[in-house]
């Protein structure tokens, strides 16, 4: 018999809470998903409890937990993956940050965290890259859309600092100053230098011709950098060494590509796969079909379920789930294959952010239960029960051994 295979499909932010505009259903419940329902009917379902050590779940902690890597043991955060994905070569002692070009008003209140989801920000990046403050050099590179990777390089730096991005707060409360998260001199120094960089960058950005031109067109000015996810370099044990599976990663966004890369997975590029609602789903699922022959484990990431929910677009999220479902037919004839469909966290349309709601999951190819459709409500009654996100890979390995 041929060696069993594993497919893990992460529909980012898939879970949700009931939405009035959808008749009191979640986008997943409201969506027409015959292929996902078939996999659920012939497989097992359950709910996962997200792992998070911040106000609400994050994408990086969710993914690392799904792959069985505890962020308490490996305290690696968003900044590392963003900086690495932007192309900056990270050195020991560096502090990495994820940055958003955002918009603030004259009173320094945050108007938009993404400056209208601005793109092509190279002129702004060139204006602030290479700045040196108190002996610390700031390396800034484009990381897709409104995002930048930032590396602080110098002596006596610490990643134990707060976020400046009001990701989980109300925008009208204004900017958050960076503060040290412990009492060490390194943390205090790092917070102080970063605040100086953000202030100086703002003065440069607000008067930059690029932003003046945007303002003349009625567009939001990308006049401030909102940072989060400070992290130093941490070496993660490879996925193959840990589980024995050769693995590849198919993803459109830098963060998820870099998570796969950090785990030693082979990155598979797909033309037109950009993480947006218009992403090349056909190309991604076709790449999955091709590469399942070469690798034991294929990780396929789909982003737009999350971004649509963050925009409060419940109907768009529903329609995108239906679009994904149409391509799930590409997997229905795979033999001797575990197919897992789940998410890194739930994202609530009404809150327009990640939330702590349990995450629906289905596992097809090992056993079956009495669940007949794939939804948050139906998964409550599944054979998998409710379990911690960190336990997923141990379950997958167990089911995999039964297929051999």
Indicate if 226 and 247 belong to the same structural domain. Answer: no
- pLDDT for 173 equals 59
Please list, in sequence order, all residues whose beta carbon lies within 8 angstroms of the beta carbon of residue 256, skipping any fewer than 6 positions away.
10, 59, 63, 249, 301, 303
Single residue among 207, 231, 255 that ends a domain in this structure: 231
Tokens of 355: 């939330």
399 within some domain: yes
Q: Which residues share a beta bridge with 361?
A: 46
Please list, in sequence order, all residues whose beta carbon lies within 8 angstroms of the beta carbon of residue 272, skipping any fewer than 6 positions away.
279, 280, 283
∠ CA(268), CA(269), CA(272), 5° rounding? 145
- pLDDT for 235 equals 85
Indicate if 254 and 290 belong to the same structural domain. Answer: yes
**C-alpha span between 187 and 199 (Å, rounded):** 18
Indicate if 259 and 351 belong to the same structural domain. Answer: yes
**C-alpha span between 134 and 282 (Å, rounded):** 50
Indicate if 267 and 330 belong to the same structural domain. Answer: yes
pLDDT tens series, the chain, 404 aa: 688 999 999 999 999 999 999 999 999 999 999 999 999 999 999 999 999 887 889 999 999 999 999 988 988 888 999 998 899 999 999 999 999 999 999 889 898 889 998 988 999 999 999 999 999 999 999 998 899 999 999 999 999 999 998 865 444 456 789 999 999 999 999 999 999 999 999 999 999 999 999 999 999 999 999 999 999 988 889 999 999 999 999 999 888 999 999 999 999 999 999 999 999 999 999 999 999 999 999 999 999 999 999 999 999 999 999 999 999 999 999 999 999 999 999 999 999 999 999 999 999 999 999 999 999 999 999 999 999 999 999 999 999 998 87
For 336-353, letters b (16+ CB in 10 Å) and e give: ebbbbbbbbbbbbbebeb
Give residue 365's domain range: 5-70+236-403
156 within some domain: yes
Indicate if 329 and 311 belong to the same structural domain. Answer: yes
Rg (CA), the chain: 21
**C-alpha span between 170 and 105 (Å, rounded):** 15
Indicate if 122 and 184 belong to the same structural domain. Answer: yes
202 within some domain: yes
265 within some domain: yes
75 within some domain: no
Work out whether strand 297-302 and strand 247-250 pair parallel, antiparallel, or are unpaired. Answer: parallel
Please list, in sequence order, all residues whose beta carbon lies within 8 angstroms of the beta carbon of residue 125, skipping any fewer than 6 positions away.
140, 141, 142, 148
Tell me if 267 sits within 8 A of 248, measured CB to CB.
yes
- pLDDT for 255 equals 86
Number of structural domains found in the chain: 2
What does residue 293 show for φ and ψ, rounded to 5 degrees?
-75, -30
Looking up residue 333, the CATH number of its domain turns out to be 3.40.720.10
Indicate if 243 and 95 belong to the same structural domain. Answer: no
- pLDDT for 105 equals 92
For 298-316, letters b (16+ CB in 10 Å) and e give: bbbbbbbbbbbbbebbbeb
11 within some domain: yes
Indicate if 99 and 211 belong to the same structural domain. Answer: yes
Single residue among 231, 259, 286 that ends a domain in this structure: 231
Element (H, E) at 82: helix 78-85
Single residue among 175, 207, 231 that ends a domain in this structure: 231
From residue 56, how far is each of 87, 167, 282 by CA, in Å? 28, 10, 32
Tokens of 384: 């998998």
18 within some domain: yes
Indicate if 216 and 111 belong to the same structural domain. Answer: yes
- pLDDT for 75 equals 85
Please list, in sequence order, all residues whose beta carbon lies within 8 angstroms of the beta carbon of residue 20, skipping any fewer than 6 positions away.
none
Indicate if 248 and 367 belong to the same structural domain. Answer: yes
Indicate if 275 and 362 belong to the same structural domain. Answer: yes
283 within some domain: yes
Tokens of 117: 């989801």
Indicate if 218 and 343 belong to the same structural domain. Answer: no
Tell me if 50 sits within 8 A of 345, measured CB to CB.
yes
């Amino acid at each position: 018999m041929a060696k069993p295979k594993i497919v893990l499909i992460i529909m980012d932010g898939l879970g949700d809470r009931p939405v009035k505009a959808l008749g009191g259903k979640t986008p997943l419940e409201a969506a027409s998903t015959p292929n996902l329902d078939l996999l659920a009917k012939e497989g097992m379902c359950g709910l996962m409890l997200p792992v998070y050590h911040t106000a609400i779940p994050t994408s990086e902690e969710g993914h690392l937990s799904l792959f069985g890597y505890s962020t308490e043991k490996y305290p690696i955060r968003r900044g590392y993956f963003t900086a690495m994905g932007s192309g900056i070569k990270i050195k020991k002692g560096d502090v990495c940050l994820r940055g958003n070009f955002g918009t603030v008003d004259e009173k320094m209140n945050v108007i938009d965290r993404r400056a209208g989801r601005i793109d092509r920000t190279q002129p702004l990046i060139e204006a602030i890259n290479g700045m040196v403050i108190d002996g610390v050099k700031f390396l800034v590179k484009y990381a897709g859309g409104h995002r930048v990777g930032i590396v602080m390089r110098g002596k006596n730096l610490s990643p134990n600092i707060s976020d400046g991005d009001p990701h989980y707060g109300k925008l009208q409360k204004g900017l958050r100053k960076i503060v040290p998260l412990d009492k060490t001199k390194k943390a205090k120094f790092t917070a102080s230098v970063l605040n100086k960089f953000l202030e100086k960058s703002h003065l440069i950005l607000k008067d930059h011709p690029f932003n003046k031109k945007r303002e003349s067109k009625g567009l939001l000015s990308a006049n401030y950098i909102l940072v989060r996810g400070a992290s130093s370099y941490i070496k993660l044990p490879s996925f193959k060494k840990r589980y024995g599976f050769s693995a590849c990663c198919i993803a459109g966004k830098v963060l998820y590509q870099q998570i796969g890369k950090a785990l030693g997975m082979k990155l598979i590029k797909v033309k037109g796969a950009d993480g947006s609602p218009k992403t090349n789903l056909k190309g991604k699922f076709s790449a999955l079909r091709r590469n399942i022959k070469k690798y034991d484990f294929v990780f396929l990431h789909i982003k737009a379920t999350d971004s649509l929910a963050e925009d409060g677009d419940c109907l768009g999220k529903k329609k995108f789930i239906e679009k994904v479902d149409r391509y799930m037919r590409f997997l229905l004839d795979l033999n001797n294959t575990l197919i897992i469909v789940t998410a890194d966290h739930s994202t609530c349309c009404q809150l327009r952010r990640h939330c702590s709601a349990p995450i629906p999951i289905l596992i097809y190819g090992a056993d079956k239960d009495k669940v007949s459709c794939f939804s948050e409500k139906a998964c409550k009654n599944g054979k998998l029960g409710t379990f911690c996100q960190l336990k997923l890979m141990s379950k997958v390995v167990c089911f995999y051994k039964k297929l051999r």
